[in-house]
Amino acid sequence: MLSLPVLAQVVVNGVNLGAIYILMALGFTMIFGIMRIVNFAHGAFAMLGGFALYFLLMDAHVPFLLALPLGALLVGAGSLLAERFVLRHLYHNELQGMIATLGLSMVMIYLAAIVFGVSQRSVPAVYSEIFFFGPLVVPMDRLVVLGIAAVTLLLFFLFMRYTKPGLAMRVAAQDLEVAEAQGINAAAHYQAAFFIASSLAALAGGLIGQLYALSPFMGATPLMKSFIVVILGGLGSIPGAALGGLLLGMAESSLTTFFGASTAQLASFGIVMLVLVLRPQGLFGHAERDS
């Protein structure tokens, strides 16, 4: 069972899974890091991303490579309504933010159930080619997922690292009052951060909808995975989310291959509890300081 091709396959699947988890977790950790909100509605935005992709492909016949980012941006734009009417009033209020976004998530899920119906659909496979690299089997759709995730992550890192709004978001996350005293319009940057985070979730949702299945309830699992990733990486840490996502993807891929899917789920949540007990700041996070 433990042969080179199997190991290679585990790596391919793990990296793929990890890429999706990172897309989900980045937005989740960003909203917490900057606005101090644990966004329980993050999974629901992923779900909307899945449906947006579905309708753009099926009804509007937009080509896949255009439909995916377009759907993500549409959901991101729509998320600004939630920002305006719900989240804006809860920034830096962790408990109320958690409860309100939990409510928001339920509202979104059941609205989707009413509008789209509860039956599972799937985004049809756009790419059916399968590549063989020696003994390695790589379906084209996985390669596309990987490519899209890689490009998105690169753009995200460049944005946060080298642009003025990226810097403004990073310093506002560290000290809001002092950031505002530098001339940074925090409210506008919060809006932008929320737009980016929801768009990333929606993009991940589109990819999940294509690789797995589409339903109003599909956001729950990616939300839980985001939790695991950011707990591994340290809540609010962007490099932590990247490493945590990859780690979780690889762990699930290998555990699923060798011990089955149930064991993989059990182990990933088991590891989270272990990390929380032994290293509560996450593997790469910093301990919270009193301010």
Partner 1 sequence: MSLLEVEGTVAAYGSIRATHGVSFSVEENEIIALVGSNGAGKSSTLKAIMGLVRLAEGSIRIDGDSVSGERPYRVVRRGVAFSPEGRRVFAATSVLENLMAGAHILPRGRAHERLDQIFSYFPRLRERSHQLAGNLSGGEQQMLAIGRALMSRPRLLLLDEPSLGLAPVIVQRIGELICEIQASENLAVVLAEQNSNWALRLATRGLVLEVGRIRMQDSAGELLRSDYVRRAYLGM
Confirm or reject binding of residue 125 to partner 1 (CB under 8 A). no
CA angle, 68 then 71 then 76, to 5°: 125
- What is the nearest approach in angstroms of partner 1 to the Cβ of residue 73? 26
Confirm or reject binding of residue 177 to partner 1 (CB under 8 A). yes
C-beta atoms surrounding 158 within 10 Å: 11
- What is the nearest approach in angstroms of partner 1 to the Cβ of residue 281? 14
Q: Kindly indicate which of the ranges 78-86, 125-133, 139-147, 173-181 contains the residues binding partner 1, using the contact rule CB under 8 A.
A: 173-181
Identity of the residue, 185 or 262, whose beta carbon is nearer to partner 1 in the bound complex: 185
Q: Kindly indicate which of the ranges 9-17, 70-78, 135-143, 184-192 contains the residues binding partner 1, using the contact rule CB under 8 A.
A: 184-192
Q: What is the 3-state secondary structure (H, E, C) of the chain?
A: CCCHHHHHHHHHHHHHHHHHHHHHHHHHHHHHHHHCCCCCCHHHHHHHHHHHHHHHHHCCCCCHHHHHHHHHHHHHHHHHHHHHHCHHHCCCCHHHHHHHHHHHHHHHHHHHHHHHCCCCECCCCCCCCEEEECCEEEEHHHHHHHHHHHHHHHHHHHHHHHCHHHHHHHHHHHCHHHHHCCCCCHHHHHHHHHHHHHHHHHHHHHHHHHHCCECCCCCHHHHHHHHHHHHHHCCCCHHHHHHHHHHHHHHHHHHHHHHCHHHHHHHHHHHHHHHHHHCCCCCCCCCCCCC
What's the length of the chain? 291
State the pairing for strand pair 130-133/136-139.
antiparallel
Confirm or reject binding of residue 174 to partner 1 (CB under 8 A). yes
Site pattern 128..167 for partner 1 (x: CB under 8 A): ------------------------------------x--x
Candidates 77, 125, 151, 175; binder of partner 1 (CB under 8 A) is 175
Interatomic CA distance for residues 138 and 283, integer angstroms: 31
Candidates 30, 37, 47, 179; binder of partner 1 (CB under 8 A) is 179
Confirm or reject binding of residue 287 to partner 1 (CB under 8 A). no
Confirm or reject binding of residue 290 to partner 1 (CB under 8 A). no
Confirm or reject binding of residue 8 to partner 1 (CB under 8 A). no
Identity of the residue, 147 or 286, whose beta carbon is nearer to partner 1 in the bound complex: 286
Candidates 56, 104, 184, 202; binder of partner 1 (CB under 8 A) is 184
CA distances from 72 to 14, 78, 115 (A): 24, 10, 19
Confirm or reject binding of residue 185 to partner 1 (CB under 8 A). yes
- What is the nearest approach in angstroms of partner 1 to the Cβ of residue 246? 22
Candidates 178, 213, 273, 276; binder of partner 1 (CB under 8 A) is 178
Confirm or reject binding of residue 96 to partner 1 (CB under 8 A). no
Confirm or reject binding of residue 92 to partner 1 (CB under 8 A). no
- For residues 212-251, which are near partner 1 according to CB under 8 A? none
Identity of the residue, 61 or 164, whose beta carbon is nearer to partner 1 in the bound complex: 164
Confirm or reject binding of residue 183 to partner 1 (CB under 8 A). yes
**Interface contacts to partner 1, rule CB under 8 A:** 164, 167-168, 170-171, 174-175, 177-186, 286
